[in-house]
Structure 1
């Protein structure tokens, strides 16, 4: 732990990290309203989620770089202001294309919640302490889908997609006020502002970074493919969108249990790689169950274990990702996010085209297990 800098309060850090996920899950129930309002097909409406992640990736690299130039606090504040302005602009979008452009600008601003907050946490913690911090925060973040889905579902039922974006703007305005009052500047004096290209080349040559990038992307695609595809599955089954909102509690429980289980395993000195392997196996089993049940309303139940695998894997992947880049944490964190969010965006785009949740999940699980086995084998022969 770095004792020479101001510490961010855990409640504020949790809220900032929850912020992008709340926004993503608030948007999901609005997909059917957007589809009806703009007269587009379901697969087209679902592209909003993939657009979000691509724009989010661009935001991550931009704000991560800004963390090393203008500081963590200023970057966060400006990003939140951009989000609020873009959310308001969506209310005046006359076409689906303009809505996507506005929503992508929202995603660009929302990226500060991920990259700036992770950079602040890495300023304050390192090693096992950082892993525990991510696990604690991961437990709290598990409730964000509940908040996003329930709020988004209620707003969609009562006012359509426009109420959803109004709700986003109001919630973010409250977060902006909180940050103005309490967010510290944690940028250390020794932070280097070396060439972004230099850091990028170093990371592209790093096989461990590529392993982290692909694994983080796979687990995110598995989880968020539910949010982009399930609304239309419920619609096809003639089930109210409210039930889709309530299923967020099921997924949140999985994420919370996964993070709590992860903390217990870490206390028992189980190495992160073993936990990631376990998460990959759970993902495969639960994905197969979703595939078998996807023509029934109960297909959402195995998703609790997909979410659990996410809660198990992500803290261990993110906490070990940038151990060799501490002198360029902002830039390295930005590039790391850029890499995996671009893959997430592409993966969700493909998932929307395929339109089959079960197949998407099984493909993700097979890739996760394959990469995990390769990583273990590579480490074994190079030790």
Structure 2
């Protein structure tokens, strides 16, 4: 079977795997963070920089992969990214100190982000409008299996082996995905590729940044991502260190949030044809409500472990209403520069994650408050961007009615 004869199901499976690389790169080793902290002679603030280091590499390198793919196609950059991922994962497995681990995590991220950003661009190449948003929701639902089982698999690996085996497992995933890439069709024909120099292509980011409608969509998702990564960075210590639960139980609690994501994505798939904007609003309001209860629990201890689990579950479950709708809305404005627009979107999303995870590490004080406050501030940012988006939509309606 060659790439040209690839079925819709085959494409769906490969794209889901590519989009899952960001999740599996972090979720699989989350239960090992406390163990790695001691093995690498680090502390809780420094070990969380292994997440921030990944996000730095992931965020910055997207700005390069997008324009490169608009000029040279999607498959070759993805293959090159997978090689970086394999090398970076190998470096992580062999690291003996925290500085080396942070460096190799950044290299790992450079490769992982090529898979994620270009998978989104491929969706934009092949689908349009509500169908693109529906496809993204389907991909997010399918790829949710990775973070659903990731922490649990990581906990199981720790039960029978060391934390280094987790990264050797990621090496194997990278190799298998590189082999499967031969079944993926090239979605950007040579006739549709940009012929400008890469310098001019990069300058196109200025035009994208000045587009307020586009930036409002990106902002809603970026602030939400900031809150999610504060959750990712803070929960291992909130659950394992603060509430003294086992890495295996932590994996189950983490999986609970992924189930919520899968459910809301399915709801989104079935209702997206009715009103995409309304679903986006529902997601943001859900995040805001969850943030209020999270602050109350972290401040007062009200509800104990359950008082922490429930608002965190509601917060991450909003992913199903926010991510696919904000991405499809943003990518709808520049169909001829889907790679660059997807790269900018991803860079700002994960850039927000860099800031939030770094803040969780900087303000770590042995309580739940730093994580809770950072997630609440991110929720406020999503609300602000939603207000801007509503204003831009209102202006567009006025202009349309005058014509």
TM range (shorter): over 0.9
**Residue in structure 2 matched with residue 178 of structure 1 by the alignment:** 180
Cα shift at 1:381: 4.0
User: Aligned pair 1:318/2:327, yes or no?
Assistant: yes
Q: 1:340 aligns with which of 344, 349, 353?
A: 349
Cα shift at 1:169: 0.8
Cα shift at 1:212: 2.3
CA contact (8 A) 2:221 2:382 kept: no
CA contact (8 A) 1:258 1:307 kept: no
Pairs within 5 Å for 1:1-383: 9-180=11-182, 182-188=183-189, 189-194=191-196, 195-234=200-239, 235-267=241-273, 269-270=274-275, 272-294=276-298, 295=301, 296-298=304-306, 299-355=308-364, 356-382=370-396, 383=398
Aligned-partner Cα distance in 1 for 2:36–2:96: 12
CA contact (8 A) 1:145 1:251 kept: no
**Residue in structure 1 matched with residue 367 of structure 2 by the alignment:** none
Aligned-partner Cα distance in 2 for 1:11–1:199: 32
Aligned-partner Cα distance in 2 for 1:381–1:213: 18
Q: Check 1:117–1:158 CA distance in 2 against 1; reply closer, same or farther (3 A cut).
A: same
Q: Deviations over 1:116-153 (max 9, x none)?
A: 11111111011121111112112212222112211222
Q: CA RMSD in A?
A: 2.0
Give the total of aligned pairs. Answer: 377
CA contact (8 A) 2:62 2:114 kept: yes
Q: Check 1:215–1:303 CA distance in 2 against 1; reply closer, same or farther (3 A cut).
A: same
Gapped regions of structure 1 (runs ≥ 5) = none
Aligned-partner Cα distance in 2 for 1:327–1:130: 15
Point out 4+ residue stretches in structure 1 off by more than 4 angstroms.
4-8
CA contact (8 A) 1:253 1:304 kept: no
CA contact (8 A) 1:5 1:186 kept: no
Q: Deviations over 1:215-274 (max 9, x none)?
A: 21111122222221111112122221211111122111110111112123223x12x222
SS of structure 2 residue aligned to 1:184: coil
Aligned-partner Cα distance in 1 for 2:257–2:141: 12
Aligned-partner Cα distance in 1 for 2:145–2:133: 19
Cα shift at 1:341: 2.1
Gapped regions of structure 2 (runs ≥ 5) = 365-369, 399-403
**Residue in structure 1 matched with residue 401 of structure 2 by the alignment:** none
Cα shift at 1:89: 1.7
Aligned-partner Cα distance in 2 for 1:251–1:84: 28
Aligned-partner Cα distance in 1 for 2:229–2:348: 17
TM-score (norm 2): 0.88
Aligned-partner Cα distance in 2 for 1:367–1:335: 18
CA contact (8 A) 2:225 2:349 kept: no
Cα shift at 1:114: 0.8
Aligned-partner Cα distance in 1 for 2:31–2:67: 33
Cα shift at 1:278: 1.2
Aligned-partner Cα distance in 2 for 1:36–1:201: 44
